[in-house]
Structure 1
Amino acid sequence: MLVGGGNTRVSASDKFVTECFGGKAVSDNPQVLVVDDDAGIRDLLADYLAKQGMSVATARDGREMDERLAAFQPDLIVMDLMMPGEDGLALTRRVKSARDVPVIMLSARGEDIDRIVGLEVGADDYLAKPFNPRELLARIRAVLRRGNAAARPDAEGGEVVRFGPFALDLAAQSLARDGAEIALTQAEFTLLKLFVEHPNRALSRDQIMDWLKGYERDPFDRSIDVRVTRLRKKLEDDPANPVYIRTVWGQGYLFSPKGKAV
């Protein structure tokens, strides 16, 4: 089956999940947002990826993408390049300025300049149309593996999370930068642990309070903001312009293991 080649045809074998990669399902139910103005491609990819164990939302343009992002926290976005209004390049640039979510760009033109510009504005991978959906699936898995590796527990100890120059020892409840220990209060450690367990996702103040405290929220409680400020002073080279614990306006705080600046 080739997608995006004019008449998209689905063979009988392509309808079965078990024939893709030996029947291996995608783990942890990754959430994917497909942005494409072609309804046929949107529907086909949504159905195909859902059969691989993914949660899929779709959008036909930038306006619908914004609506989905307001209610849906994707692990990855599949973005078409050529769309009316804001094109895929503009949308990718805008998304990347607000959140650390990987983007795979699709283009019917397949020209080198499109691929280069797409990568320059922040796309993590690029696929020319027409394409086999199994290749897209492989690329999605590869991009997600790269992103998850940034905050994966250390292979030897199993309790150490590394990001940038930092190592967070979950068992010892200690943080070190290039081997030099950084003093953390219990409250600071607990908050940082929560962030590293939910990388690249905007967490609202209410969500953080629910997870950390487990009791009824006080809308005037600013303790989370105070803790974030203190953590930034210990993690960031420039706390006023954070790259690890970023503020996503209207959504909350986002931990970026790669230390990616806005």
Structure 2
Amino acid sequence: MHALLVEDDDRMSLALGTALAQRGHTVRRVGRAMDALRYVREAQFVLLDLGLPDLDGLELLRRLRTVCDAPLIVVTARCEERDIVQGLRAGADDYVVKPFRMNELMARIDTVRRRTGAPSSHAHGEGPPVRAGDVEIDIAGRAVRVDGTDVRLTRREFDVLAFLAARPDQVHSREEILDRIWGDAFLAASRSLDVHVAGIRAKTGRADLVRTVRGFGYQLGSPRPGSER
């Protein structure tokens, strides 16, 4: 696999590049946002530091997501909850805070790569679109429409919604969703799932599209027009 490593620290770049190469990946390292935008289309996955000299990393993440759908993991020293939430909402598939254990990061890379685009396999990617009120979820086509209007979700947001839509009558535990979508049930201690559910609700304007089962998990809801409040 070909990795794009966006990191301006030489020592960190050397350590990450060596670890990736030892696992059979080829690596292009860049230290500036403009170079990341130049080379991202050739990448099969991306590691992104947020502390870049020419552009804020979160803004770069948003720009990358407009041109590239490759798996992307933020690797940064920014550890505030606000930064983590913003990174996930902007389209990161995972968020790792420095300092980290190299083996853990490599495992997270493997998990993200393995699970990226997996909902179509969870739901077999077949059959007609699922309807929930005025929301249409096309699992095979990876598209969402609200009252006939296309809504753009991040890949992870769509993954969560498609997983729920594939089994609309079932309530799914947080651990099950995290295991099937992220490949790690222990992420239940993080806010990743909550952030993505909030993103689905906000972008579709249907607050009850994803129903919370308090203390357990989530289920696909049946939203009514005007339920955004």
The TM-score bracket by the shorter chain reads: 0.5 to 0.7
Give the Cα separation in 1 of the matches to 2:85 and 2:149.
32
Q: How does 1:46-65 map to 2 (within 5 A)?
A: 46-65=17-36
Structure with greater helix percent: 2
Change (3 A) 1:236 1:58: same
Q: CA deviation at 1:120?
A: 1.7
Q: Cα–Cα, structure 1 residues 242 and 60, in superposed 2: closer, same or farther, change >3 Å?
A: same
1:42 and 1:115 map into 2 onto residues whose CA distance is: 22
Aligned mates of 1:90, 1:236 — CA distance in 2: 25
State the match for 2:44 in structure 1.
Answer: 75
Note if contact 2:40-2:64 (Cα within 8 Å) is conserved in structure 1: no
Q: Could you list the per-position Cα deviations for residues 33-67 of structure 1 after superposition, in whole angstroms to 9, with x for gaps in the alignment?
A: 11011122122211211111222221111121122
Aligned to 1:90: 59
Q: Secondary structure at the match of 1:143?
A: helix
Report SS of the residue matched to 2:95.
strand
Query: Retained in 1: the 8 A contact 2:61–2:91?
Result: yes
Could you tell me which residue of structure 2 aligns to residue 117 of structure 1?
Answer: 86
Residue matched to 1:32: 3
Whole-angstrom CA distance in 1 between matches of 2:92 and 2:107: 16
1:135 counterpart residue number: 104
CA distance in 2, matches of 1:39, 1:144: 25
- The 5 A counterparts of 1:1-262 are 30-70=1-41, 72=42, 74-152=43-121, 161-162=124-125, 167=126, 176-178=127-129
Q: TM-score, normalization: structure 2?
A: 0.54
Residue 153 to residue 125, structure 1, CA distance change in 2 (3 Å): closer
Number of residues paired by the alignment?
A: 150
Question: Structure 1 243/83 Cα, relative in aligned 2: closer, same or farther at 3 Å?
Answer: closer
Q: Greater Rg, structure 1 or structure 2?
A: 1
How far did residue 243 of structure 1 move? 6.3
Partner of residue 220, structure 1: none
| Offset, 1:102 | 2.3
Q: Which runs of 5+ in 2 are unaligned?
A: 131-139, 163-199, 204-229
Q: Which runs of 4+ in 1 moved over 2 A?
A: 150-154, 235-244, 257-261
